[in-house]
Amino acid sequence: MLAATRMDGAAGVPGDFRVWLSGNEDIVEKSVGAIVVASELVSCPMNDAYGLTLSDTVLSQSQLEAALKSNPAAFAGKSIAFLMGLAQDGNPLVLERVLKSVLALENQADTSAYVIAGDLKVAEDGLERLYLECRDKGAMYIKLTAQPTVAQEGSALSITYDDPVLQRPVELVPDIIVVEEAIGADDVNAALADMLKIDMGSMGFLQTDNVHRYPVSTNREGIFVVGGSRRVKKRYGALMDAENAALRVRGLLGDGTIDVPTDKAVIDTGKCTFCLTCYRCCPHGAIYWAAENKPVISKVACQGCGICASECPMDAIQIGDYNDTAMIETVGQSATAKTGDAPTIVAFCCQNSGLEAAKMAESFGMPLPAGLKTVTVPCAGKVDIDYIMHALAEGADGVVIMACHNGNCKSERGSLYAAGVPPTPRKCWPPSGSRKSASASPPQPPTWALIFPPS
């Protein structure tokens, strides 16, 4: 185990990742089969959102927890108001911290605790029981739909709210106000995502909200995220994630051999002009640069989306049954197959969405429009401009691409490529040399990643 260690870089593919780790002064290079990221959650006080300044009488949740730990008796005889779920969405993790503190306070003599809250979300193990236990001990819950008016003058505090039961304004004058904390992703995630080339979600977590992903998966095979790396989770949920990740790693690496399906991308290096387009556009980090200066596709990492094949300017990449020869033949057959007087529309259907929708329509007895000819593609990003032109040249009256909606593409960016809006390209490679030659000398953290040949 390496404690107090930082990751400075990563490269490679499943079964043969390299990571550069540093602690103190030394940088060590390690070879690993899979990577599991378990970054921490961070909390930050929300006093600003409630118009309050932290002081002796206005405490953040963390400050209260520390004070309760060191001297709980200091709160005897005090009235304490908690503000939560009014400046952010209710959150079971936040509520659990509040309720544990309330319980500790209610155990002190003559202490009164008020929980002034928006949503009280108790959807976690044991939370409802804790909620009831606090209530039975004397805690009062005040559920509001809008933030109360909070006044802070020196150490004097007051909270005024429209009481929904009494239907009149009520003023509470507590000795102490405790403001909730926002729980969110650690800033370190951005650097990790950059090093590992994994996509981030909108809240700074290391996983996008993609319905096609298994719970601990990322856009890259062999790199998993657990617990606070992927969302706000309680310890139990994080442990479940860890078990899931262990199973996925075992499933991936197993006894050291992997059966790889045949529908993976293959490069004809005789046609390749080494333009790096495929390396930049692969959303799954499956393409690396070999020491002999050519692109290589990891069969383990490749997810067969076909984006690289449609983007390659030399048509140097082919994918199993979706190779260009087979696709052109299918498109030609679809374009020339007329159905009465109906216009012929060639519909390229992503197998993860458009095709499923067509099957679903059929199963509900809703026939597809006459003249609509479906052509299955592994991802909308596989639709090559040549296929579209061929369909029109062969007599199709129109072409449609049925893609996943943006943000829900299994390959993250396939629908963007299909729409002709290619996302920002990845960082390119260094002007000379490869990581392999550099690794013969004492290891240094890479200034770029993923251009690394597996041994």
Residues that bind ligand SF4 (CB under 6 A): 265, 267, 272-278, 282, 284, 286-287, 295, 297, 302-308, 312, 314, 316-317, 319
**CA separation for the pair 105, 113 (Å, rounded):** 7
Distance of closest approach, residue 31 Cβ to ligand SF4, in angstroms:
22
Distance of closest approach, residue 330 Cβ to ligand SF4, in angstroms:
18
Distance of closest approach, residue 209 Cβ to ligand SF4, in angstroms:
20
Q: Which is nearer to ligand SF4, 345 or 355 (CB)?
A: 355
Q: Which is nearer to ligand SF4, 27 or 314 (CB)?
A: 314
Q: Which is nearer to ligand SF4, 47 or 353 (CB)?
A: 353
Distance of closest approach, residue 205 Cβ to ligand SF4, in angstroms:
23
Q: Which is nearer to ligand SF4, 41 or 275 (CB)?
A: 275
Distance of closest approach, residue 264 Cβ to ligand SF4, in angstroms:
6
Question: Three-state SS for 96?
Answer: helix
Dihedral (CA of 33, 426, 266, 421) sign: positive
Residues near 146 by beta carbon (within 8 Å), at least 6 away in sequence: 86, 162
Q: Which is nearer to ligand SF4, 13 or 21 (CB)?
A: 13
Bridge partners of 363, per DSSP, are none
Write 3-9 long-range contacts (CB < 8 A, 24+). Answer: 7/192, 7/195, 8/195, 8/445, 8/446, 9/195, 9/445, 9/446, 9/447, 9/449
Q: Which is nearer to ligand SF4, 185 or 302 (CB)?
A: 302
Distance of closest approach, residue 277 Cβ to ligand SF4, in angstroms:
4
CB 34 within 8 A of CB 40: no
Nearest to 415 by CA among 379, 447, 448, 446: 379
For the record, the structure tokens of 75 come out as 């709160």
Q: Any idea which residue has 């650097």 for tokens?
A: 191
Q: Which is nearer to ligand SF4, 111 or 434 (CB)?
A: 434
DSSP state of 217: B
Q: Return the exposure string of 64-101: e unless at least 16 CB atoms fall within 10 Å of the residue's CB, then b.
A: bbebbeeeeeebeebbbbbbbbbbbebbbbbbbbbbeb
**CA separation for the pair 13, 5 (Å, rounded):** 22
Nearest to 196 by CA among 449, 380, 386: 449
CA dihedral 440, 444, 449, 454 (to 10 degrees): 30
Nearest to 175 by CA among 248, 74, 252: 74
Distance of closest approach, residue 336 Cβ to ligand SF4, in angstroms:
29
Q: Which is nearer to ligand SF4, 284 or 373 (CB)?
A: 284
Q: Which is nearer to ligand SF4, 12 or 332 (CB)?
A: 12
Nearest to 306 by CA among 378, 376, 389: 378
Q: How many helices (H) and strands (E) does the chain have?
A: 12, 22
Distance of closest approach, residue 409 Cβ to ligand SF4, in angstroms:
12
Distance of closest approach, residue 142 Cβ to ligand SF4, in angstroms:
53
Distance of closest approach, residue 213 Cβ to ligand SF4, in angstroms:
14
Write 415-422 long-range contacts (CB < 8 A, 24+). Answer: 415/350, 415/380, 415/381, 416/381, 417/281, 417/307, 417/310, 417/311, 417/380, 417/381, 418/380, 418/381, 418/383, 422/281, 422/311
Distance of closest approach, residue 354 Cβ to ligand SF4, in angstroms:
18
For the record, the structure tokens of 91 come out as 């959150």
Q: Which is nearer to ligand SF4, 275 or 438 (CB)?
A: 275
Q: Which is nearer to ligand SF4, 205 or 322 (CB)?
A: 322
